[in-house]
């Protein structure tokens, strides 16, 4: 009886073990075929070849409809590793113009799953990119000798103008980081790296399509699966219209030749950027094709830093262009009225501290102080504001109030332009000075910020935006390069008015001062007939030669353009800043330069500044 019981018990144990094994297999099969895509993908890859169809990238136009960036056919060589058999490597390399070492290295890179996530020997891998039509034709003739290799058609960027490289940007092959960040991309794809190409990547890239091809048991292509019923047509990227006027852009770059500097022009009523020139610059066509890496490396090594977009990345003392912000703040805070006079006998002098100034009548009220760019006037204004204890209670509170005005005018933080890499500039606050002076400071300690020196820095874009804000009498629209996206609305940020803390009536006073600067002050070279230009010079102190700056707009009562010019080590604002700014406004408003102005433009273009340490 006992033996029969044990046999009966073993039967159940063995039966249970069999059932358990079957369950494990069933669960595993369910996981592979239902819960996981891997098994299905491997099975499908044996029967199907999914051939990616790349969309054409959106093109770019300037504000007048001139084509700036377009597409040109290019070809990639792709391979399915499992299909590569009996390859004559030497013949293959000769056909593509590569070395055997390159071939071996490339195969190793493709198979490296760390460098090439998602690698499969069943799927297409990019072997070589951007063959020209001629190179592709040579390879196509011998393609039958290289089983497992295919030609993939795509497009590369081309440029109609040797201009606006920093604005337009460029595209390059995706990095591992790009692939991890967005599953749209696979190795060998291209992505915008800088400028508009980067900022509007998702609009420009379009949507990939796919062509499903059927394989036989030996992996040979038998035709389209279901006659293409499941194929997906690629959707082209969206076209962009920029606010840039390409002729104005070309003039700005021409005037900056042989100089380090920036020119930014904005349409005040819309915030659209009309030109954005950074010098030195480079030909955008250098960033196209297989030579892009080599060209980028050489530009990166250039001590003049041509890859740096100084319009949004350069942070400079704004100099006397900043005096307009001080006048506005003092008026709104009641520190002065339009008629308040301050003395200036060679400069601001107080308690042994002296800030020099040039010769002009004194004492003077605000309008002529702006017109003559009087240092003393704005130093006295800041000194009285920071020291107004009855109004603010403490120097810290006064300083915090001052900073809030500057921030409301677009300084101290990125404006939000639709380009990558914008810097914020520097507007100090009370905590900054408490830390640096151990809490012991006053209006005299920080007096230089009143004239755009000291700790204050700004980007050329922020200075141009100041001109647009004054032109609008107290508000600005966030500057933006792109005017229109095909079938898509722009971000509301680029149509919303951003008001400052200063009332419109005080802006009218500053406008009068800027107009007086053009008719009889420091900006006389910008007095263009019939255009009613308003301007403000800037001579920003530097360790070496001063920087030359200008900020202005025109016409005075119907502003169409606001301009900022910044030429490093250019000397007085009137030396380079004013004449360049005047030429930019004349060109935009009149559509062309007069013969006399063309002579001036040629003269400025030919002038070179000796920067000494820079070697090209």
Q: How far apart are CA 398 and CA 3, in angstroms?
A: 101
Strand-pair partners of 215: 221
Within 8 A by CB and 6+ apart from 420, the residues are 194, 195, 198, 199
Number of neighbouring beta carbons within 10 Å of residue 79 = 23
Q: What is the pLDDT of residue 136?
A: 87
Q: How far apart are CA 71 and CA 239, in angstroms?
A: 12
Give mean pLDDT in consecutive 10-residue pieces for the chain, a chain of 616 residues: 57 68 68 52 57 90 98 88 89 92 91 80 84 86 90 88 97 90 88 96 94 68 69 93 98 97 98 98 90 90 95 97 98 97 93 92 96 97 92 95 98 98 97 93 95 97 98 98 96 96 98 98 95 95 87 98 96 94 98 96 95 58
Cα separation of the two ends of the chain? 103
Give me the numbers of helices (H) and strands (E) for the chain, helices first please. Answer: 22, 20
The 3-class SS string of 310-323 reads HHHHCCECCHHHHH
Instruction: Report helix angle 460-471 to 323-332, nearest 10.
Output: 50
Q: What is the pLDDT of residue 311?
A: 98
Q: What is the pLDDT of residue 613?
A: 57
Number of neighbouring beta carbons within 10 Å of residue 447 = 22
User: Mind listing the domains of the chain with CATH numbers?
Assistant: 48-213+222-242 (3.90.1310.10), 246-281+308-483+497-606 (3.40.710.10)
Kindly give the pairing relationship between strand 221-224 and strand 475-477: unpaired
Helix (H, G, I), strand (E, B) or coil at 54: coil
Whether the bond into 115 is cis, omega within 30 of 0: no
Strand-pair partners of 549: 538, 566
DSSP string, 82-129: GG--S--HHHHHHHHT--HHHHHHHHHHHH-TTTSTT--TTSEEEEEE
Joined together, the tokens standing for residue 212 give: 């499903």
Strand-pair partners of 140: none
Q: How far apart are CA 256 and CA 500, in angstroms?
A: 32
Q: How far apart are CA 549 and CA 546, in angstroms?
A: 10
| Cα separations in angstroms, 429 against 191, 233, 315, 493 | 40, 56, 17, 27
Whether the bond into 597 is cis, omega within 30 of 0: no
- Cα radius of gyration rounded to whole Å, the chain: 33
**Could you say which DSSP state residue 422 is in?**
-
DSSP string, 506-529: HHHHHHHHHHHHHHHSTTGGG--T
Residue 552 · residue 265 · CB < 8 Å: no
Residue 238 · residue 255 · CB < 8 Å: no
Strand-pair partners of 273: 266
| Cα separations in angstroms, 242 against 273, 313, 351, 585 | 8, 20, 53, 19
Joined together, the tokens standing for residue 482 give: 């792109």
Joined together, the tokens standing for residue 177 give: 């980081």
Q: What is the pLDDT of residue 290?
A: 77
Q: What is the pLDDT of residue 371?
A: 97
Residue with tokens 């509170």: 397
Q: What is the pLDDT of residue 614?
A: 47
Q: How far apart are CA 493 and CA 213, in angstroms?
A: 46
Whether the bond into 370 is cis, omega within 30 of 0: no
Q: How far apart are CA 348 and CA 371, in angstroms?
A: 17
Number of neighbouring beta carbons within 10 Å of residue 514 = 25
Q: Can you point out the beta strands (E) in 168-245?
A: 171-173, 190-192, 209-215, 221-224, 240-242
Q: How far apart are CA 553 and CA 560, in angstroms?
A: 8
């Amino acid at each position: 009886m006992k033996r029969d019981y044990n046999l009966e018990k073993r039967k159940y144990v063995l039966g249970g073990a069999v059932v358990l094994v079957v369950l494990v297999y069933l669960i595993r099969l369910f996981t592979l075929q239902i819960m996981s895509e891997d098994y299905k993908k491997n099975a499908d890859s044996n029967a199907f070849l999914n051939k990616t169809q790349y969309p054409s990238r959106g093109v770019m136009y300037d504000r007048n409809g001139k084509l700036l960036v377009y597409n040109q056919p290019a070809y990639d060589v792709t391979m399915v590793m499992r299909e590569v058999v009996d390859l004559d490597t030497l013949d293959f390399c000769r056909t593509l113009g590569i070395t055997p070492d390159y071939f071996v290295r490339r195969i190793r890179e493709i198979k490296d799953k760390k460098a090439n996530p998602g690698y499969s020997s069943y799927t297409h891998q990019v072997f070589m990119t951007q063959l020209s039509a001629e190179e592709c034709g040579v390879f196509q003739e011998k393609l039958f000798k290289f089983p497992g290799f295919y030609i993939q058609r795509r497009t590369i960027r081309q440029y109609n103008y040797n201009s606006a490289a920093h604005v337009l940007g460029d595209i390059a092959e995706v990095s591992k980081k790009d692939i991890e960040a967005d599953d749209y991309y696979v190795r060998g794809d291209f992505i915008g790296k800088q400028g508009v190409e980067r900022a509007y990547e998702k609009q420009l890239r379009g949507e990939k399509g796919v062509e499903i091809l059927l394989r036989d048991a030996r992996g040979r292509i038998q035709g389209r699966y279901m006659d293409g019923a499941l194929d997906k047509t690629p959707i082209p990227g969206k076209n962009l219209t920029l606010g840039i006027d390409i002729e104005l852009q070309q003039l700005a770059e021409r005037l900056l030749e042989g100089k380090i500097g920036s020119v930014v022009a904005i349409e005040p009523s819309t915030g659209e950027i009309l030109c954005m020139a950074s010098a030195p610059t480079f030909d955008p066509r250098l960033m196209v094709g297989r030579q892009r890496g080599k060209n980028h490396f050489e530009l990166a090594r250039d001590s003049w830093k041509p890859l740096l977009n100084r319009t949004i990345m350069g942070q400079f003392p704004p100099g006397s262009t900043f005096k307009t912000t001080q006048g506005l703040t003092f008026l709104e805070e009641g520190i002065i009225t339009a008629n308040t006079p301050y003395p200036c006998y060679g400069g601001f002098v107080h308690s042994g501290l002296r800030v020099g100034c040039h010769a002009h009548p004194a004492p003077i009220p605000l309008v002529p102080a702006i017109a003559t760019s009087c240092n003393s006037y704005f130093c006295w204004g800041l000194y009285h504001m920071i020291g107004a204890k009855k109004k603010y209670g403490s120097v810290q509170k006064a300083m915090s109030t001052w900073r809030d005005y500057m921030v409301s005018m677009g300084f101290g933080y990125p404006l939000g332009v639709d380009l990558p890499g914008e810097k914020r500039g520097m507007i100090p606050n009370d905590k900054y000075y408490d830390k640096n002076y151990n809490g012991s400071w006053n209006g005299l300690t920080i007096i230089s910020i009143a004239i755009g020196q000291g700790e204050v820095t700004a980007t050329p874009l922020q200075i141009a935006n100041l001109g647009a804000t004054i032109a609008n009498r107290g508000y600005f629209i966030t500057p933006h390069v792109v005017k229109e996206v095909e079938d898509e609305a722009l971000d509301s940020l680029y149509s919303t008015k951003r008001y400052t803390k200063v009332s419109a009536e005080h802006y009218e006073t500053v406008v009068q001062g800027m107009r007086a600067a053009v008719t009889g002050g420091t900006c006389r070279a910008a007095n263009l007939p019939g255009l009613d230009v308003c301007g403000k010079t800037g001579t920003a102190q530097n360790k070496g030669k001063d920087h030359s700056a200008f900020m202005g707009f025109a016409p005075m009562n119907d502003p169409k353009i606001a301009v900022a010019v910044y030429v490093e080590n250019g000397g007085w604002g009137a030396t380079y800043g004013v004449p360049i700014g005047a030429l930019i406004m004349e060109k935009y408003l009149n559509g062309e330069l007069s013969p006399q102005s063309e002579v001036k433009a040629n003269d400025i273009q030919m002038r070179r500044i000796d920067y000494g340490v820079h070697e090209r």
